[in-house]
Amino acid sequence: MKTTRVLTIITLFGIGVCHQANSQNVGISTTGAIPSVNAILDLNTGNSNNLGLIIPNVSLTSLSSFKPPIANAATTGDKGMMVYNTNAAVGSGVGYYYWSGTAWVAVSGSASTVTGANNGLTLNSSNVQLGGALLANTAITSGGFNLSFTGTGLFQLGAASTSTGTLQFYNSGSANAIGISAGATSAAYNLTLPTAAPSVNGQLLASTTAGTMSWTTPPTVLKGIIYDTTAGVSTPTLAAGTTWILVKAVGGGGAGGGLGNSCYSTDEAGSGGGAGGYCEGYLQNVTGSTTITITVGAGGTGAAGCNNSVASGGGNTTVVTTLPGSTFTANGGSGGKSTQVASTSVNLLGGKGGYASGGTINMPGANGGNAIVSQTGSDVVFAGEGGSSIYGNGGPQQYTRDNVNYPGINALSPGAGGGGAVAVQQTSAIATKGGNGAHGMVIIYEY
């Protein structure tokens, strides 16, 4: 029985194999056709084209192990041996492998030749995919091409398990960096950006408490102006949304020196009143609970006088705030003086300007002009002009050489002093007033 089987195999092999002794070419065919002279083994000649070759199926145990599964230990002649691996857990999985002399290598096209991935890449079965730890500094050069992230998934920077994260953009010199960082948070939150561009220039992004952003036109930076020139006390209300204010205050101006009915038959002159001081400063962190009390100083009232009598001074201007508490003070200027001269010349000083405190800028008001009487030949008398404030002139200077009198001229600008009166040898008793000083003023800019 055993002999019969051997003879049958030999007979079949002899029928199917055509051997050319001269060229040592071997062909396996169904027709006995001569194999190609260029092939050591020709499986195509004499066979129909719908037959295939089945490589031995082997379950590899590892890429470095030749035996097992192969029956005998590897020899140098085994280099290039090919098998079809059926073990999906080895190497790149199921597919064709060849023996390189030291390891089994997957054949390209049947299974990946990549045996591992790192530096931001991961090997998943036979696929290399994005994702993994960076092992070195890595640069991606765009080369003029766009890098886009599309789809509905999240794009995150920073580990999801941590409570802090930082996003930075910087140039190659690490200068001019733009950083977006987040400190510890109790929960995640989202900011949803608008889907369209701003409709006009200058719009800003505003958000709801849910983090939905939209383009809005910013409110006017200057929310309002408080303007007060009325002598006395007022308590204005700040405009809604005001967070800081700029305060400007000037004290009342002093009156100019006047002339009295007991000083006639002489040369008489009054010096000018001093201007009120000026205070300017800002106050931050104001809210809707902040209160403001304004006191505008009155201007000095011109009156008659003589023999170095002093005219009335201007009142003090103050701005007092609470929450936060602060006081801005601009004091009023002093009044001018009056003089009478029978036979000599005099130079009578004007009233002093007021001082200021509590502001970032504190400026004294200008002094009133001097009164001058000159009796060197013909009499010439000059009244003093009112001191100028930061906002403008006081009452102008006057002079005379006639047997007449001139009252002082009132101040022309907020906080300025009144001008002095003047006369030359009046023959009758005439009371002549000095000019009035101007009231102070407060301006508050609300932001």
Q: What is the pLDDT of residues 314-363, one digit of tens each?
A: 999 999 999 899 999 999 999 999 887 766 778 889 999 999 999 999 99
Query: What are the C-alpha distances in Å from 193 to residues 196, 197, 198, 309, 338?
Result: 9, 10, 12, 74, 74
Residue with the larger pLDDT of the pair 432 and 336: 336
What is the predicted pLDDT for the residue at 15? 41
Q: Indicate whether 228 belongs to any domain.
A: yes
Q: Which of 57-61, 161-165, 223-227, 373-377 has the lowest mean pLDDT?
A: 161-165
Of 113, 131, 149, the position where a domain reaches its end is 131
**Angle at the Cα of 53 from the Cα atoms of 52 and 55, rounded to 5 degrees:** 145
- The size of the chain, in residues, is 447
- Do 247 and 390 lie in one domain? The reply is yes
30: left (phi over 0), alpha (psi -120 to 50) or beta: alpha
What are φ and ψ of residue 104, in 5° steps?
Answer: -85, 130
Residue reference for tokens 């009231």: 439
Q: pLDDT by residue (tens digit) across 386-425?
A: 999 999 999 999 988 777 788 999 999 999 999 999 887 6
Q: Where are the beta strands (DSSP E) in 272-428?
A: 278-284, 291-296, 317-322, 326-330, 338-341, 346-348, 356-357, 361-363, 371-374, 380-382, 399-400, 405-406, 422-424
DSSP letters for 142-201: -TT------SSS----S-TTSS-EEEEE--TTS-S-EEEEE---SS----B--SS--SST
136-156 residue pLDDT tens: 888 888 888 988 877 776 666
Specify if 194 maps to a domain. Answer: no
| 344 within domain boundaries | yes
Lowest pLDDT segment from 27-41, 248-262, 307-321, 355-369: 27-41
Q: What is the pLDDT of residue 188?
A: 63
Joined tokens for residue 34: 């001569």
Identify the weakest region by mean pLDDT among 23-37, 60-74, 217-231. 23-37
Do 257 and 112 lie in one domain? The reply is no
Q: What percent of the chain has pLDDT over 90?
A: 44
Neighbours of 121 (CB within 10 A): 16
Torsion, Cα of 377, 379, 383, 384 (10° steps): 10
* Phi and psi, residue 10, nearest 5°: -65, -40
CB 386 within 8 A of CB 368: yes
Place of tokens 């992004």: 205
Does residue 210 lie within any of the structural domains? Answer: no
Q: Which pLDDT tens digit goes with each residue over 123-132?
A: 876 678 888 8
113 and 22 co-located in one domain: no
Give which of 418, 410, 344, 353 is closest to 381, Cα–Cα.
344
16 lies in the same domain as 94? no
Least confident of 114-118, 135-139, 291-295, 311-315: 114-118
Same domain, 10 and 59: no
Task: With respect to residue 106, please indicate whether it lies within any of the assigned structural domains.
Answer: yes
Query: Edge-to-edge, what's the strand order for the sheet holding 25-28?
Result: 17-20, 25-28, 41-42
Last residue of a domain, one of 110, 131, 152: 131
277 and 399 in a common domain: yes
- State how far the Cα of 45 lies from the Cα of 24, in Å rounded to an integer: 16
Does a structural domain hold residue 177? no
What's the total number of domains in the chain? 3
The CA-CA-CA angle for residues 128, 132, 137, to 5°, reads: 110
Q: How far, in Å, CA of 150 to CA of 144, rounded?
A: 19
% of the chain beyond a pLDDT of 70: 80
Q: How far apart are CA 225 and CA 247, in angstroms?
A: 10
CA gap 399, 64 in Å, rounded? 121
Instruction: Indicate whether 35 and 58 sit together in one domain.
Output: no
Which pLDDT belongs to residue 14? Answer: 42
Q: Provide the token pair at 292.
A: 């403001």
Domain C-terminal end among 83, 109, 131: 131
Whether the link from the prior residue into 68 is cis, omega within 30° of 0, is yes
Q: Does 139 fall in a domain?
A: no
Alpha-carbon distances of 319 from 283, 298, 340, 442, rounded to whole Å: 11, 15, 40, 8
Taking residues 218-222, what's their average pLDDT? 73
What pTM was estimated for this model as a whole?
Answer: 0.55
Q: How many CB atoms lie within 10 A of CB 446?
A: 19
Check residue 60 and give its pLDDT.
95
| Residues sharing a CB contact under 8 Å with residue 392, sequence separation 6 or more, in sequence order | 412, 413, 414, 416
Containing structural domain, residue 109: 54-131
Place of tokens 């390891």: 103
220 backbone dihedrals φ, ψ, rounded to 5°: -60, 135
| Residue 59, pLDDT above cutoff 70 | yes
Examine residue 173 and state whether it is found in any structural domain, yes or no: no
- Helix/strand number for the chain, H first, E second: 1, 31
Do 12 and 117 lie in one domain? The reply is no
Same domain, 230 and 121: no
pLDDT for 221 equals 79
DSSP 208: -
In a shared domain, residues 121 and 232 = no
Q: What is the C-alpha separation between 301 and 303, in angstroms, rounded? A: 6
Q: What is the band of 41 on the pLDDT scale with cuts at 50, 70, 90?
A: confident
6 and 111 both lie in a single domain: no
Reported as a single tens digit per residue, the pLDDT across 159-209 is 554 445 555 555 555 555 555 555 555 566 677 888 888 887 778 888 888
Between CA 429 and CA 393 the distance in angstroms is 31
Omega prior to 414 cis, within 30 of 0: no
In terms of domains, do 351 and 384 share one? yes
